């Protein structure tokens, strides 16, 4: 097992298209790191560069102690699970599992033992004689994982392995993956576009957008303390509400509400509040409240999502090539925000709510760069 | 754009994967010993070998008779002698052969386009009594090789009084079962909703075929036309068998073969005649490469 | 749209049998009529020039028949029996098998190699493809002329080039021992483009991901090709084997034009022999059309059985990926 290090890695395609831009990142030995971001953010390209399936334009990638820029995939001691599984269709499951070991001239007895172990681990014993064409999606996915596991490599690479499974199976496999990692403990780099997967699975997550690393850290840290508006809106579902506020003299004004924050710089500021940071209160509540005009109510069973408009401008920030749909909702001077309520509270559309903001739930961002304004 | 021999399947994946040098293989970083891809060492001589007979024939067609009898062979005649070509035209009925072949080929291709389209559409989309049986029987005839039907078809053509005439070359080939097969398979891949909408709108079968299906099928029709053109233009056995004495009805292949027989040591003339006979197909190939390739691939994969 | 009163609607349907004219008119606009109208010209042509000859050929094979003369005499299976004792027929069969045994593997293996080489993004690949494909459009006669000249014993380019590397001179088409091999070279040259296109399409159908996975699994280029790509080419290979065998067994044009069965009958193949019997010898007073038809039918049977055997064998060996 080994660590993986990206050192100012850049990948440029003819065009020119910059798929990965100056990526510097360490993956510790035994760590489960997730690369997450929207389509086209460069996460798959970064993974493939570690695998050796793409050449590195600039910078270096090291696996363990050696720089592997010019080392062919088969000599890097890695294993990869592809999004579409890439199982050899003309071989049985058993042959698929053992292929890599046989290529490396492992003695036949060892191959058998390891294939048996892995198939027991993944519940594939009954399927060994079948061909991939005869398996279900979930079974194929497990065979793909088995093929990687049986090699006992230094690094595991997984490229959106769950995205072709149906929702229920996906949830099931997520916990299985977690269990496997706890048991095997190998260095793993996992790519996904699903931020829920990222938060639940990863020890650390690295958020990418437009080829640039936005933030890296444990999931809770990235959720609680996003480094910029992109991460703020991408991580967390429903996304963080982002509103336009104005700061004068250490006082932020937002839609009729005021907050004190002595360190905030003068001028326009973006205010981010997660849906769970807003609470409807009664008339007698002291302290600043926002008036929300309820528009849509979504009961989810265990909670209720309320979408409504408030008297503050939405934050329209365009930073980089990320999907503008990630940016705030609303038009003109009235932003649409989302609240999370317990399931028994169900306001009627058209009604008005007084909503209090938990002060520790506010995050501030620079309106020009989008970067978080952090307390010093 | 005239892409050379576009294979029917997309060559690379649509997302730009930069693999300088290889498509079907995974790229491996390696030290380059040569300034170019080593496969050129195989492909260049291969191309030379494939083109050599043609090029050599062109060279010979520009030489004088004396030059052709030189050994070792003269690789370039100094001053090319284009007169060989006019001599061939003058000394033989080349024009007639060319004309005959054109008439026969164009007629056969046109007829096939019409008849195969009609029949294929019926087999693909119209449910009529006996459809499966008739289709099966027709396809079965594809299994039977030419030499089996050669003699009886000759006798039939003789009975029809078409022997020794261009009619013998045209009539038996007015419809080609392979074309029906090709188009039937193709029509089945078109979305049926378009035709159903038209039927609800009240269109007749024929107008659906002409106004909706055919415009969507132009690539398949072009492919069929190109393959049929190739077959008919290059056909030798059938004209050989049916055009016995009437020199006015000779096709290009037949005429060429006779010419070579009559002038068999006059290679400067025979080469010129040969080059002239090959030019139309080569030109057609260069213009319609895509359809040739598609046609051959379909012929193979569906066969 | 106004609904008619129930009374009138009832008049139209309840109890009244449709008149014959109405039924005929219904039929005319029905699918059955349309379908048959569309296929009728083709069916007639195919019946006359496809089905009738197949059946008539079978009948002929049981007759002693003349081509130009109207002689038809029923002789039962004696035509078929004659084949067994005819030395020329036996020679034709041997020559045909010899040709096929050389042509089929040669054309397929070379085409595979070429397709592999062409399946890459290198400079001039379009030119290379063009060069490989062009021979497919040259007619058999044109090709024959080109190779007759190329292989000319005294003045041909081939002997000159071979002489430069110390080989030859060869008689090629004029040498009884070399003529068939020369024919193989010529026809492989003509057909390589066809086989290559098929293999190229098949190679491109191999998913890139599979080869990436194999590479990560540790396969070298050779074992990647042999263990991943080659099995996936199974269907294409089977197809080419069947197709090439059928074509090879039916060789005619080149034999007729280039060697005319010689020298010494060493390139006389079955279809050529059939032609000779029916159209060269049989045009005179000899009535050999029936005998020729019988030989043609035996060849047909052989092709049919061979094709079925190849498919059956192929099904067991070839994997069709879902």
3-class secondary structure, B269: helix
Same domain, A86 and A149: yes
Same domain, C54 and C116: no
**Is any Cβ of chain A less than 8 angstroms from the Cβ of B13?**
no
3-class secondary structure, A206: strand
pLDDT digits (tens, 9 = 90+) for B63-72: 888 888 877 7
Q: Do the chains contact at C220 and A88, CB–CB below 8 Å?
A: no
Report the CATH number at residue A120: 3.40.50.300
Beta strands A362-365 and A267-273 are antiparallel
3-class secondary structure, A63: strand
Which of A17, A53, A70 is facing B26, going by the closest CB pair? A53
Q: Do the chains contact at C31 and B127, CB–CB below 8 Å?
A: yes
Residue A64 included in any domain? yes
* pLDDT of res. B22: 37
Which of B16, B18, B29 is facing A72, going by the closest CB pair? B29
Q: What is the mean pLDDT of residues C20-37?
A: 76
Same domain, A297 and A184: no
d(CA B30, CA A71) in angstroms, rounded, equals 9
Same domain, A307 and A161: no
Q: The tokens of C134 are what? A: 């062009």
Report the CATH number at residue C115: 1.10.3720.10
Quote the number of domains for chain C.
2
Q: Which residues of B touch A69 (CB under 8 A)?
A: 29
Range of the domain at A305: 241-365
Q: The tokens of C191 are what? A: 């057909």
Q: Which residues of C touch B9 (CB under 8 A)?
A: 201, 204-205
Which of B16, B28, B30 is facing A17, going by the closest CB pair? B16
The residue assigned the tokens 């027929």 is C89
Task: Point out which residues pair with A228 in neighbouring strands.
Answer: A371
pLDDT digits (tens, 9 = 90+) for C241-286: 998 999 999 999 999 999 998 888 899 999 999 999 888 886 656 6
Minimum distance, in Å, between the CA of residue A128 and any CA atom of chain B: 28
Interface ipTM above 0.85: no
Q: Do the chains contact at A89 and C322, CB–CB below 8 Å?
A: yes
Same domain, A42 and A179: yes
A25 near A78, Cβ under 8 Å?
no
Same domain, A136 and A98: yes
Handedness of CA A121, A127, A133, A136 (dihedral sign): negative
Same domain, A335 and A295: yes
Chain C: residue whose CA lies nearest to B60: C149
Same domain, C141 and C219: yes
* pLDDT of res. B23: 37
Total CB pairs under 8 A between chain B and C: 333
Q: What is the mean pLDDT of residues B224-238?
A: 93
* pLDDT of res. B4: 35
Q: Do the chains contact at C207 and A90, CB–CB below 8 Å?
A: no
pLDDT digits (tens, 9 = 90+) for A76-131: 889 999 988 889 888 899 999 988 888 888 888 989 999 999 999 898 999 999 99
Q: Do the chains contact at C213 and A80, CB–CB below 8 Å?
A: yes
Residue A276 included in any domain? yes
C238 near C126, Cβ under 8 Å?
no
Same domain, A201 and A255: no
Minimum distance, in Å, between the CA of residue A79 and any CA atom of chain C: 6
Using the 3D structure, point to which of A229, A260, A287 is the last residue of a domain. Answer: A229
pTM of the predicted protein model: 0.78
Quote the number of domains for chain B.
1
Same domain, A208 and A353: no
Report, as ranges of residue numbers, the positions in chain A whose pLDDT lies below 70. Answer: 1, 316-332, 376
Query: Residues in chain A whose beta carbon is closer than 8 A to a beta carbon of chain C?
Result: 51-53, 72-74, 78-80, 82, 84, 86, 88-90, 99-100, 103-104, 131-133, 147, 151
Same domain, C148 and C19: no
Beta strands A257-260 and A304-310 are unpaired
Closest by CA position to C60, among listed C282, C238, C242:
C282
Q: Which of residues 115-134 of A touch B (CB under 8 A)?
A: none
Residue B84 included in any domain? no
Same domain, C10 and C154: no
pLDDT digits (tens, 9 = 90+) for A222-251: 999 999 989 998 998 888 888 888 888 878
Same domain, C56 and C126: no
**Average pLDDT for chain B:** 83
d(CA A114, CA B257) in angstroms, rounded, equals 69
Same domain, C148 and C268: yes
Same domain, C124 and C220: yes
* pLDDT of res. A319: 53
Range of the domain at B205: 94-302
Residue C20 included in any domain? yes
Q: Which residues of C touch B43 (CB under 8 A)?
A: 117-118, 124, 128
Is residue B13 predicted with pLDDT exceeding 50?
no
pLDDT digits (tens, 9 = 90+) for C101-138: 999 999 999 999 999 999 887 888 888 988 999 999 99
Range of the domain at C49: 6-61
* Residues whose CB falls within 8 Å of the CB of residue B117, separated by 6 or more in sequence, listed in order: B183, B209, B214, B217, B221
């Amino acid at each position: 097992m080994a660590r993986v290090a990206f050192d100012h890695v850049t990948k440029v395609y003819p065009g020119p298209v910059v798929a990965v831009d100056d990526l510097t990142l360490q993956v510790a030995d035994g760590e489960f790191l997730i690369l997450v971001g929207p389509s086209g953010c460069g996460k798959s390209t970064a993974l493939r560069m570690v695998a050796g399936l793409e050449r590195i334009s600039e910078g270096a990638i090291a696996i363990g102690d050696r720089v592997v820029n010019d080392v062919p995939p088969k000599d890097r001691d890695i294993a990869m699970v592809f999004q579409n599984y890439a199982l050899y269709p003309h071989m049985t499951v058993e042959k698929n599992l053992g292929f890599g070991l046989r290529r490396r001239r492992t003695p036949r007895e060892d191959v058998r033992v390891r294939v048996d172990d892995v198939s027991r681990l993944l519940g594939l014993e009954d399927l060994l004689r079948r061909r991939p064409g005869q398996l279900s999606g979930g079974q194929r996915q497990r065979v793909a994982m088995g093929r990687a596991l049986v090699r006992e490599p230094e690094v595991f690479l997984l490229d959106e392995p769950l995205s072709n499974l149906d929702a229920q199976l996906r949830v099931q496999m997520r916990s299985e993956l977690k269990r496997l990692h706890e048991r095997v403990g190998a260095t793993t780099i996992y790519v996904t576009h699903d931020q829920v997967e990222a938060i639940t699975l990863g020890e650390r997550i690295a958020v990418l957008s437009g080829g640039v690393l936005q933030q890296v850290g444990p999931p809770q840290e990235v959720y609680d303390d996003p480094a910029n508006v992109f991460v703020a809106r991408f991580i967390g579902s429903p996304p963080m509400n982002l509103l336009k506020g104005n700061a004068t003299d250490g006082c932020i004004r937002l839609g009729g509400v005021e907050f004190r924050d002595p360190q905030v710089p003068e001028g326009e500021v973006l205010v981010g509040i997660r849906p769970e940071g807003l609470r409807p209160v009664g008339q007698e509540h002291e302290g600043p409240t926002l008036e929300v005009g309820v528009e849509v109510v979504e009961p989810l069973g265990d909670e209720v999502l309320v979408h409504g408009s408030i008297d503050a401008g939405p934050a329209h920030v365009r930073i980089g090539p990320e999907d503008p749909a990630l940016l705030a909702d609303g038009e003109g001077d009235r932003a649409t925000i989302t609240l999370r309520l317990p399931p028994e509270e169900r306001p009627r559309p058209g009604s008005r709510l007084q909503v209090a903001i938990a002060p520790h739930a506010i995050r501030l961002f620079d309106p020009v760069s989008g970067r978080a304004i952090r307390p010093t | 754009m005239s892409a050379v021999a576009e294979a029917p399947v997309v060559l690379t994946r649509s997302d730009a994967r930069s693999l300088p040098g290889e498509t079907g293989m995974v790229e491996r970083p390696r030290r380059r010993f040569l300034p170019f891809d080593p496969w050129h060492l195989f492909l260049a001589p291969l191309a030379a070998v494939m083109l050599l007979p043609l090029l050599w024939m062109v060279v010979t067609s520009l030489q004088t008779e004396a030059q052709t009898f030189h050994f070792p062979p003269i690789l370039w005649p100094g001053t090319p002698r284009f007169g060989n070509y006019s001599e061939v035209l003058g000394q033989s009925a080349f024009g007639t052969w060319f004309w005959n072949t054109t008439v026969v080929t164009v007629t056969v291709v046109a007829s096939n386009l019409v008849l195969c389209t009609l029949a294929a559409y019926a087999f693909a989309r119209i449910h009529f009594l006996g459809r499966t049986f008739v289709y099966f029987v027709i396809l079965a005839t594809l299994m039977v090789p030419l030499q089996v039907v050669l003699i009886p078809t000759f006798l039939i053509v003789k009975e029809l009084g078409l022997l020794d005439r261009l009619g013998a070359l045209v009539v038996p080939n007015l419809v080609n079962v392979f074309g029906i097969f090709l188009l039937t398979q193709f029509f089945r891949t078109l979305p049926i909703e378009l035709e159903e909408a038209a039927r609800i709108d009240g269109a007749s079968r024929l107008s659906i075929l002409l106004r909706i299906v055919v415009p969507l099928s132009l690539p398949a029709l072009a492919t069929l036309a190109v393959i049929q053109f190739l077959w008919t233009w290059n056909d030798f056995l059938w004209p050989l068998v049916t055009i016995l004495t009437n020199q006015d009805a000779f096709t290009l292949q037949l005429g060429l073969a006779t010419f070579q027989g009559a002038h068999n040591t006059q290679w400067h003339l025979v080469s010129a005649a040969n080059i002239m006979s090959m030019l139309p197909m080569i030109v057609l190939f260069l213009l319609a490469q895509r359809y040739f390739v598609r046609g051959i691939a379909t012929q193979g994969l569906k066969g | 749209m106004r609904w008619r009163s129930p009374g009138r609607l009832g008049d139209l349907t309840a109890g009244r049998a449709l008149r014959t004219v109405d039924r005929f008119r219904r039929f005319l606009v029905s699918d059955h009529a349309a379908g048959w109208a569309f296929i009728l010209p083709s069916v007639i042509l195919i019946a006359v020039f496809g089905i009738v000859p197949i059946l008539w050929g079978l009948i002929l094979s049981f007759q002693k028949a003349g081509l130009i003369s109207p002689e038809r005499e029923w002789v039962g299976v004696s035509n078929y029996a004659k084949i067994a004792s005819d030395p020329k027929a036996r020679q034709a069969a041997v020559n045909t098998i010899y040709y096929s045994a050389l042509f089929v593997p040669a054309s397929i293996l070379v085409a595979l190699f070429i397709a592999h080489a062409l399946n890459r993004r290198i400079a001039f690949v379009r030119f290379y493809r063009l060069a490989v494909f062009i021979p497919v459009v040259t007619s058999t006669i044109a090709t024959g002329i080109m190779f007759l000249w190329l292989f000319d014993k005294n003045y041909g380019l081939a002997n000159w080039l071979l002489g430069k590397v110390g080989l030859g001179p060869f008689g090629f088409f004029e040498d009884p021992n070399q003529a068939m091999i020369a024919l193989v070279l010529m026809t492989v040259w003509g057909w390589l483009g066809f086989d290559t296109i098929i293999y190229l399409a098949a190679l491109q159908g191999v998913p890139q991901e599979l080869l990436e996975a194999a590479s990560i699994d540790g396969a070298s280029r050779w074992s990647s090709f042999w263990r991943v790509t080659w099995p996936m080419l199974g269907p294409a290979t089977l197809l080419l084997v069947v197709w090439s065998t059928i074509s090879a067994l039916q060789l005619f044009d080149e034999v007729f034009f280039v060697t005319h069965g010689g020298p010494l009958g060493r390139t006389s193949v079955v279809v050529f022999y059939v032609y000779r019997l029916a159209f060269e010898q049989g045009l005179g007073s000899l009535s050999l059309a029936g005998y020729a038809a019988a030989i043609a039918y035996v060849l047909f049977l052989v092709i049919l059985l061979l094709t079925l055997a190849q498919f059956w064998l192929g099904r067991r060996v070839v994997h069709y990926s879902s």
